[in-house]
């Protein structure tokens, strides 16, 4: 099953201050700037196997880190910058329209760095529903509990997006219910586009500008998306994190999604099971009812793996919980982090990322 990764990392200078990616974004066709100044994105091509994805991802990162060392910049694997001065959005019509529609809440997105995993489309309805049910797996790589110094949740990025950024447009930025078929998903997208367009016109945005910058395919920022142009089912729940953490997560997610076309996927509330709702076995995949999934996702965002129901659920769904050591848990414990301490944390985790890539490169077949 073709699989690819998109990861956003913060760029900092030698003092830990956020910085522009500059030449890092020009390293290859797979590197680019993001919609805010200090954010950089690396995109792998589709890879047929996990060893191929691992090798490609590590080689690309190693190439970027070589350039980063040359220009005295570093990459930081945190879901938020912890605490920093105001971040500016790069000029662009799309961002301007989003800000007009969503309002001040849209600014929360400027402080978020995440990971997107793309899976080749196969049995799309079951893939969509399974990825929705696996939303709580974001807990496995939560990488920042802080937003502008304040401790807000084990997964601050998810909290910022879901509870703040799209608080007034929940259907555009929060988890969607399971679907009966792909046509239902596309109808939802069309309805969201019409809602967004109507809101934009009410704010005085030119209709032609909306149509030129948005479509039903890209108007939502939900944790699960269909991408017709790739074509993939995209899982957008997890934070940016250390490369080894993301590869482990992608490997275990892929193992579940890869079984979808060859097994039975059903939805059950688990009331008649002592083990709880949701499980993956050799006989099939059983998803919890949507309300249960939402409860688990909330706990994953607020408490991470410290939530016993989340940890037990992910274990039943096939994840090796003991192999994960989320950054959030390691840096948590303070109600407030100063900008100076945030700079130190960014530098610490830049060093950890560099060491992580070095280890991965040493154990990846060339």
Domains identified in the chain and CATH numbers: 3-363 (3.30.590.20)
Query: What is the model's pLDDT at position 272?
Result: 44
d(CA 228, CA 2): 15
Low-confidence ranges of the chain (pLDDT < 70): 269-275, 365-366
Query: What is the model's pLDDT at position 90?
Result: 84
Q: Helix, strand or coil for residue 52?
A: helix
Query: What is the model's pLDDT at position 294?
Result: 96
How much is the pTM?
A: 0.95
Spatial contact of 141 and 249, defined as CB atoms under 8 Å apart = yes
Query: What is the model's pLDDT at position 92?
Result: 86
Neighbour-count burial of 275, counting CB atoms closer than 10 A to its CB (0-12 exposed, 13-18 middle, 19+ buried): exposed
Query: What is the model's pLDDT at position 365?
Result: 58
Spatial CA neighbour of 136 closest among 9, 268, 318, 333: 318
d(CA 268, CA 296): 15
Beta bridge partners of 8: 41
Spatial contact of 168 and 69, defined as CB atoms under 8 Å apart = no
Spatial CA neighbour of 72 closest among 11, 119, 135: 11
Query: What is the model's pLDDT at position 169?
Result: 87
Query: What is the model's pLDDT at position 271?
Result: 55
Spatial CA neighbour of 246 closest among 312, 303, 362, 327: 327
């Amino acid at each position: 099953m073709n699989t690819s990764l998109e990861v956003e990392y913060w760029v900092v200078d030698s003092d830990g201050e956020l910085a522009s990616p500059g030449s890092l974004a020009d390293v290859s066709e797979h590197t680019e700037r993001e919609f805010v100044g200090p954010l950089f994105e690396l995109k792998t091509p589709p890879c047929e196997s996990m060893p191929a994805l691992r090798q490609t991802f590590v080689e690309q990162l190693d190439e970027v880190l070589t350039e980063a060392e040359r220009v005295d910049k570093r990459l930081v694997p945190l879901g938020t910058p912890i605490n920093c001065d105001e971040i500016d959005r790069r000029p662009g019509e799309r961002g301007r329209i989003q800000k007009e529609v969503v309002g001040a809440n849209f600014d929360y997105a400027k402080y978020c760095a995440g990971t997107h995993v793309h899976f080749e489309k196969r049995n799309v309805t079951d893939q969509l529903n399974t990825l929705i049910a696996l939303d709580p797996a974001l807990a496995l790589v939560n990488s920042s509990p802080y937003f502008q110094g304040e401790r807000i949740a084990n997964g601050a990025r998810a909290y910022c997006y879901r509870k703040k950024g799209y608080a007034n447009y929940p259907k555009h930025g929060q988890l969607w219910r399971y679907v009966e078929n792909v046509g239902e998903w596309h109808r939802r997208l069309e309805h969201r586009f019409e809602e967004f367009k109507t809101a934009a016109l009410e704010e005085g945005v030119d209709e032609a500008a909306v149509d030129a910058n948005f479509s039903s395919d890209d108007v939502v920022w939900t944790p699960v998306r269909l991408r017709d142009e790739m074509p993939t089912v995209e899982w957008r729940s997890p934070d940016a994190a250390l490369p080894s953490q993301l590869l482990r997560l992608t490997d275990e997610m892929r193992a579940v999604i890869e079984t979808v076309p060859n097994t039975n996927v059903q939805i059950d509330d688990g009331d008649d099971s002592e083990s709880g709702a949701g499980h993956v076995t050799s006989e099939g995949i059983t998803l919890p009812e949507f309300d249960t999934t939402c409860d688990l996702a909330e706990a994953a965002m607020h408490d991470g793996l410290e939530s016993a129901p989340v940890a037990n659920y992910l274990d039943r769904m096939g994840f090796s919980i003991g192999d994960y050591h989320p950054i959030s848990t390691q840096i948590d414990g303070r109600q407030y982090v100063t900008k100076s301490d945030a700079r130190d944390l960014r530098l610490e985790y830049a060093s950890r990322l560099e060491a992580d890539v070095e280890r991965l490169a040493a154990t990846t077949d060339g």
